[in-house]
Structure 1
Amino acid sequence: MKCLKTVSIFLMLFLMVGCARHSYFPMAEPLQASFENQVQIAHLSKLLQRDDLSDDLRSKMLSERGQSFDRVGLRDLARLDYNQSLLLNPVQSSLYNLLGVYYTQIAEFDAAYDAFNSALELEPDNTDAERNRAIALYYGDRFQLALESIQTYYSRDTSDPLRQLWLYLIEYEVNPEKARSDLESAYLKKDGRWAWTLVGITLGEIPQNDGLILIQAGVEDNVHLAQRLTETYFYLGKRYQIQGNMARAVACFKLALSFNVYDYIENRYAYLELIKVYEGSMEQL
């Protein structure tokens, strides 16, 4: 195990050095499991041992513990709690969405589609499920369906730069020229939100090093910085991927994972990106 960890560390350092040779790459300290989450898990685990809980209360406790497990990266334990909670109370759109994200992350796409459809049947305005279903369709190579789904999500807030980036990434698989044209048009209407800098970097309107400095502006603490860099390195990895620079893309996806911001979709989908790179490399052997 020590040898495996050492190899992983050296591989990551090698990729980071190669990635950063001509670029500036800011870092943050990886987040640690909060004391509050650990106490919550312990407290709920103790309460769940009681025999006098109503099904409704037990379902809520399982849901809460599952979300606490999710926040500290224990996703398999979270999935077990979500499933148990849904057995007791199947009318929980948010849990179907979280299960859908879990199944997307491990490339179980049919299960993911079923989960997201269930979430949206229960709550048609669940925008997280709407976005995540589009992303699952994208990773499942159902690009036209993914585009139709992400367009609905995007139409709810056309000024959101992260929605614009997902629209671009998905539309790029269907019509690259239109995807870039649409992104350029949206960028002309940008507001003061920091993530528009990511759009500028993606388009080449902002030099990468300058953009990465701008992205850190106004960050007050390490938690905020880790969250922002998780998003930044994921979308930067997608930019390199589109350019065909897989070494840098992999380095950026690893960086997106390195801050332990487990509840951000960019952390979850960076893991999936690395799985797809690995599977692709195995197919070429």
Structure 2
Amino acid sequence: MIANRLKLACIAAVMLLSGCATSTKTMWTHPPMAVPLQPTIQQQIQLARIEQLMKRDDLDNATLAQMYYERGLLNDSLGLRDLARLDFNQSLSLKPDQPDVFNILGVYFTQSAHFDAAYEAFDSTLELSMLHPFAQRNRGIALYYGGRLDLAHEDLLMHYQQNINDPYRVIWLYLVDLERTPEQAQEKLRLRYDASDKQDWGWLIVRMYLADISESDYLKEIASGSENNDQLAERLTEGYFYLAKRYQHEQNYSAALMLYKLTLAGNVYEFVEHRFALLETGRVLSQYQAQQQAMLEAKQSGQAQVN
């Protein structure tokens, strides 16, 4: 049974990638790209320094727990997520009352689609630190991916109300609205955009969703407005991810898949958009398979009626 599912998934992936070659050839022949981020000398020196300090035998549990956490963050920033997760778990075993560690583990659980574990991790974060700056947003995102849209909306709306000038709070609330109340989503997005100060560059993404700017101009503004390669990589990671979400909602799965691949290309491992791009590629594949199955059943039903 598992082998059959894997075979079907591979076939669907090949078909979907074949679709990319035709339907997106014109759009993505020369997409804006940044040089992928590489480990810096500072990161490598810091990692070596922490590992050297951890060899000391006079460290108490609290200090050692902090070092495991800091090494985990470094491994996470380098894309070494399995090593990071081991460090975070070791840190918690030494000092269990760390809201930041529960928060990052909740994100990891969300990435791997272990949603119940993610909810528990974020709940633990908020129990330890009610005013944690990211846990409520991250729990809302986990609830969104877990299909619990009303609870996701509750978390993300409360998070948005704490800072109405943060475009990303508006964007994630909009993505939930698209699935929860699609007939009102665009109007709500417009109202929240109008109520903001529009200062952060991320409002460009909202303008794209509102169709106030064309896709071509959207990408040009990201490329021309970035001051250096690092900033370009970061903005393209966000820009491609949220553009992919639009194509995915429109059921243009080949374009969405290509954009998620571009999201991953910059190696901006710490951004939530990079973190969830792989999760989204799996969702795109599942949605594509469901679409193809529905078309096949409709075709078979039509043939049966003719006969």
Same fold (TM over 0.5): yes
| Equivalent position to 2:183, from 177, 181, 185 | 177
- Among 135, 139, 142, the residue aligned to 1:136: 142
Pairs within 5 Å for 1:97-176:
97-176=103-182
Residues 50-89 of structure 1 mapped to structure 2, 5 A cutoff: 50-89=56-95
The Cα of 1:192 is off from its aligned counterpart by 3.3
Q: Which range moves more in the overlay, 229-238 or 44-53?
A: 44-53
One-letter amino acid of the counterpart of residue 160, structure 2: Y
Q: 1:214 aligns with which of 214, 217, 221?
A: 221
How many residue pairs match? The answer is 276
Tell me which residue corresponds to 1:3.
Answer: none
Seen in structure 2, the aligned counterparts of structure 1 residues 68 and 13 have a Cα distance that, compared at 3 Å, is: farther
Q: Which residue of 2 aligns with 1:249?
A: 256
Structure 1 counterpart SS, 2:69: helix
Tell me the distance in 1 between the aligned counterparts of 2:33 and 2:283: 25
Which whole-Å deviations, capped at 9, do the CAs of 1:82-134 have from their partners, x for residues lacking one?
Answer: 11111111121111110000010011111111110111111111121110100
- Return 35-44 or 200-209, whichever deviates more: 35-44
* TM-aligned CA deviation for residue 274 of structure 1: 1.1
Gaps (5+ residues) in structure 2? Answer: 1-12, 294-307
Residue 158 of structure 1 aligns to which amino acid in structure 2?
I
Q: Give the C-alpha shift of residue 211 in structure 1.
A: 1.5
- Cα offset for 1:12? 8.0
Distance 1:275 1:50 in 2: 43
Aligned-partner Cα distance in 2 for 1:60–1:259 = 29
Pick from 225, 231, 252: which aligns with 1:224? 231
Q: Distance in 2 between matches of 1:81 and 1:93?
A: 15
- Give, in whole Å, the separation in 2 of the partners of 1:48 and 1:170: 43
SS of structure 1 residue aligned to 2:79: coil
Alignment partner for residue 281 of structure 2, among 274, 278, 285?
274
Instruction: Give the aligned partner of residue 235 of structure 1.
Output: 242
Distance, in Å, in 2 between the alignment partners of 1:170 and 1:194 is 22
Cα distance change of structure 1 residues 82 and 120 upon mapping to structure 2, 3 Å threshold: same
Q: CA RMSD in A?
A: 2.2
Amino acid at match of 1:91: D
- Counterpart of 2:255 in structure 1: which amino acid? R
Q: What is the percentage of aligned positions where both structures have the same residue?
A: 45
Aligned partners of 1:269 and 1:84: how far apart in 2? 24
Query: Aligned pair in 2 of structure 1 residues 12, 257: CA closer, same or farther (>3 Å)?
Result: farther
Instruction: Using the TM superposition, name which of 180-189 and 102-111 deviates more.
Output: 180-189
**Deviation string for 1:165-218 (max 9, x for gaps)?**
100001111101211110122233452322111111112121110111122343
* Equivalent residue, structure 1, for 2:24: 19
Structure 1 distance, partners of 2:148, 2:117, is: 15
